[in-house]
Chains A and B, each alone.
Chain A
């Protein structure tokens, strides 16, 4: 496919040769052009490097805009291939001496000061020959400077640069699996008490004693939002408790799909508690998709029915405080759970209990006591601890690296940044190390007069 395209291009460019030779070749060419395969990729990239054109140096009277990069296919994986130029011999590969700047489209260009270009549009297995020319204003060019040898793009099965990623994934996976196995074998996995979930029975009990309903608001987003899903999990628990305590449960929803899901969840919960007779699907109803229409509707329910317990579990926006304040004014116990950072402070201040972000998502593991969920929860926690640890170590190292001239700290920081978190593989990049050494050398040669930093 690509070959065909390239052929078409070449044919097209050949057709334009009639308007050629208008280019003004006045600039000095870049030197030492080389091309190399980019490692650890699927074979679609080639890195081209060169030394800047001497014309770039005299920046005051710069006559250079940048560089244009040209490419010829030298050989495909299937064998030799003609470059496609009319009359060209199959063996005569490469760029012609009288290179037509006007008619040949460069595969890319960079502005002056840059000496690298990554060609991301190559095909694995093909050999390419690259050439670079300096370009100036008004269509001025330098003669092309051709790479010393063609390069073949190759695909690697493993991305060695991401080796650390493999290690971290393996460790976390192992930890999760280990905890799941432990949990299944009856090992105790303790989950910190989540006050908000512990209080569910208290809130529903209050509603029962007061003879008032329980109100559950599953957020304003649709069922495809993960927070709504988490909210439905909590709803299942609230419904079970309501069934056991024989309290009325009202669930107004803002999306029709959420309503359907909530109905099924609540019905299953009532059946599970042996109280299918107490389930009434009309208590779970759709109000409107409109954000504030919905809010007003829920407020109406609050003011009319004065529920003794209100739950807000899902995604909330500006309505959070409106709802929480209304329910507070009617004296109900409120339990909120959301992962919306901007709404959390409102819920914390106005509600009795709030499940914050992660707590909210951990709710289903907490409530179900299912070993698989508990095990993976614990495993994820270990992963988070590792990430946090890395963060702290990185911060400390970075601080040391900039405040002192310790080579070790700088190398370590580099290692965390570019090897563990980056894509440099297991071994630090020699170039970068050399650069650090060079900088340190330069600093060492400077007199220590400004060392106090007083200026």
Chain B
């Protein structure tokens, strides 16, 4: 059979990365090919027409629609603020006047003598697309967007919430298996990308949000903590549009699980550097994983393209078990029986033998392991 292909997470010290920056509707692209941009630069801009909000004055003032026009305090085209009076009845001998306040801010678009409705159009919503990653503009699509290229160190997480952000890298944990607790989050982490070790608690994430951190990245999170953070139980792993005020990325999975040492040390090597982070995850066909992009000032000399992707299973390779009963444990391949093996569940599957540091060995289905590059 052909070689098994399982999608793996990319963790690399260097790659040439391209990001597409695109407007939701057509607008103006503010850069041209060859420009150098920083993460905060606006590369394209447009505005969405405001929402249309009808206010039924005829009902609210108990007037026939045709009388509404005479009672208007504002005319068509006038701007109105929230709760600003827009119409008033004449009352009886100047008393008992009813005033109607606008429930929306915007501009009066029309006053209808037929329906007695006033339509307030909200302010146009400006849409700005930032560069997100500092680099060079390599192509521009007119009225649509542009593509930016940069030499970066790149880490794919397994799961994240929250959208694009960026900041300097700071370390909260000293080792890759240290839990992230609120006391490790300090006020000077404002605007930074915090790197943790093992499981992060919801209290730690909330503390990070309080101090104004841009993102927090760690090995694992409890599902209950995620639910508390989001306020709902996540059904399908399609994220990125949450408005949490902080982007959260886990690199390994749910539960008490430490960040891969390789990832941890690589991130640690970039402390103080600017990183662009996106928590958007989409686990479906056309899979999308959260990413941590660290633009490099210089290309590392050793190996320009050393990737830590899945390779062949060989005896001696280090791996992580990604399913219970040995979930999260790291060991090395000690045997590769070729015949399918009957598992405890009764199913037949191809397996491998793994030896844990404690000296214990276990039989694990090949589907339930993930290779880790040393």
A and B touch in the complex (CB under 8 A): yes
Q: Knowing A276-B117, A277-B117 touch, does A271 contact B59 (C-beta < 8 A)?
A: yes
In contact, B114 and A277 (Cβ under 8 angstroms): yes
A274 at the binding interface (Cβ < 8 Å): yes
From 54 to 83 in chain B, residues with beta carbon under 8 angstroms from any chain A beta carbon are 54, 56, 58-59, 65
In contact, B56 and A271 (Cβ under 8 angstroms): yes
User: Which residues from A are CB-within-8-Å of B115?
Assistant: 276-277, 279
- The smallest beta-carbon distance between B145 and chain A, in angstroms, is 37
User: Which residues from A are CB-within-8-Å of B54?
Assistant: 274
Contact with B along A262-280 (1 / 0, CB 8 A): 0000000001001011010
User: Which residues from A are CB-within-8-Å of B279?
Assistant: none
State the CA gap A271–B57 with chains docked (Å). 11
From 244 to 285 in chain A, residues with beta carbon under 8 angstroms from any chain B beta carbon are 271, 274, 276-277, 279
- The smallest beta-carbon distance between A136 and chain B, in angstroms, is 78
Interface size bucket, B side?
A: 10 to 19
Contact with A along B130-156 (1 / 0, CB 8 A): 000000000000000000000000000
B32 at the binding interface (Cβ < 8 Å): no
User: Which residues from B are CB-within-8-Å of A279?
Assistant: 115
- Considering the complex, give the chain A residue whose CB is closest to the CB of B58: A276
User: Which residues from A are CB-within-8-Å of B58?
Assistant: 271, 276
State the CA gap A277–B119 with chains docked (Å). 13
B26 at the binding interface (Cβ < 8 Å): no
B116 at the binding interface (Cβ < 8 Å): yes
B112 at the binding interface (Cβ < 8 Å): yes
- Considering the complex, give the chain B residue whose CB is closest to the CB of A276: B115
State the CA gap A277–B117 with chains docked (Å). 9
Contact with A along B101-122 (1 / 0, CB 8 A): 0000000000010111100000
User: Which residues from A are CB-within-8-Å of B117?
Assistant: 276-277
- The smallest beta-carbon distance between A246 and chain B, in angstroms, is 15
State the CA gap A382–B69 with chains docked (Å). 53
- Considering the complex, give the chain A residue whose CB is closest to the CB of B65: A276
State the CA gap A439–B287 with chains docked (Å). 96
- Considering the complex, give the chain B residue whose CB is closest to the CB of A271: B59
State the CA gap A271–B54 with chains docked (Å). 11
User: Which residues from A are CB-within-8-Å of B56?
Assistant: 271, 274, 276
From 411 to 447 in chain A, residues with beta carbon under 8 angstroms from any chain B beta carbon are none
User: Which residues from B are CB-within-8-Å of A271?
Assistant: 56, 58-59
User: Which residues from A are CB-within-8-Å of B59?
Assistant: 271
User: Which residues from A are CB-within-8-Å of B112?
Assistant: 277
State the CA gap A398–B59 with chains docked (Å). 61
- The smallest beta-carbon distance between A258 and chain B, in angstroms, is 21
- Considering the complex, give the chain A residue whose CB is closest to the CB of B112: A277
State the CA gap A277–B54 with chains docked (Å). 12
State the CA gap A274–B56 with chains docked (Å). 8
- The smallest beta-carbon distance between A443 and chain B, in angstroms, is 76
User: Which residues from B are CB-within-8-Å of A274?
Assistant: 54, 56
- The smallest beta-carbon distance between B224 and chain A, in angstroms, is 29
- The smallest beta-carbon distance between A226 and chain B, in angstroms, is 28
- The smallest beta-carbon distance between A276 and chain B, in angstroms, is 4
- Considering the complex, give the chain B residue whose CB is closest to the CB of A274: B54
State the CA gap A274–B115 with chains docked (Å). 10
State the CA gap A277–B116 with chains docked (Å). 9
Interface centre among A274, A276, A279 (most CB of B within 10 A): A276
State the CA gap A277–B115 with chains docked (Å). 5
State the CA gap A443–B59 with chains docked (Å). 78
Contact with B along A108-151 (1 / 0, CB 8 A): 00000000000000000000000000000000000000000000
State the CA gap A276–B65 with chains docked (Å). 10
- The smallest beta-carbon distance between B120 and chain A, in angstroms, is 14
Contact with A along B181-196 (1 / 0, CB 8 A): 0000000000000000
State the CA gap A277–B56 with chains docked (Å). 11
User: Which residues from B are CB-within-8-Å of A277?
Assistant: 112, 114-115, 117
State the CA gap A271–B112 with chains docked (Å). 14
State the CA gap A429–B58 with chains docked (Å). 67
State the CA gap A53–B265 with chains docked (Å). 129
State the CA gap A274–B58 with chains docked (Å). 12
From 211 to 249 in chain B, residues with beta carbon under 8 angstroms from any chain A beta carbon are none
State the CA gap A338–B210 with chains docked (Å). 65
State the CA gap A271–B115 with chains docked (Å). 9
- Considering the complex, give the chain B residue whose CB is closest to the CB of A278: B115
User: Which residues from A are CB-within-8-Å of B65?
Assistant: 276
State the CA gap A271–B114 with chains docked (Å). 12
- The smallest beta-carbon distance between A268 and chain B, in angstroms, is 9
State the CA gap A277–B65 with chains docked (Å). 11
From 17 to 61 in chain B, residues with beta carbon under 8 angstroms from any chain A beta carbon are 54, 56, 58-59
User: Which residues from A are CB-within-8-Å of B114?
Assistant: 277
State the CA gap A279–B115 with chains docked (Å). 9
- The smallest beta-carbon distance between B165 and chain A, in angstroms, is 39
- The smallest beta-carbon distance between A271 and chain B, in angstroms, is 6
- The smallest beta-carbon distance between A294 and chain B, in angstroms, is 29
- The smallest beta-carbon distance between A260 and chain B, in angstroms, is 15
State the CA gap A247–B54 with chains docked (Å). 21
- The smallest beta-carbon distance between B173 and chain A, in angstroms, is 49
Report A's interface with B, CB cutoff 8 A.
271, 274, 276-277, 279
The 6 tightest CB contacts between A and B, nearest first, are: A276-B115, A277-B115, A271-B59, A276-B117, A271-B56, A274-B54
Q: Could you give 16 example pairs across A and B, Cβ below 8 Å? A: A271-B56, A271-B58, A271-B59, A274-B54, A274-B56, A276-B56, A276-B58, A276-B65, A276-B115, A276-B116, A276-B117, A277-B112, A277-B114, A277-B115, A277-B117, A279-B115
Given A271-B56, A277-B112, 10 additional A-B pairs, CB 8 A: A274-B54, A274-B56, A276-B56, A276-B58, A276-B115, A276-B116, A277-B114, A277-B115, A277-B117, A279-B115
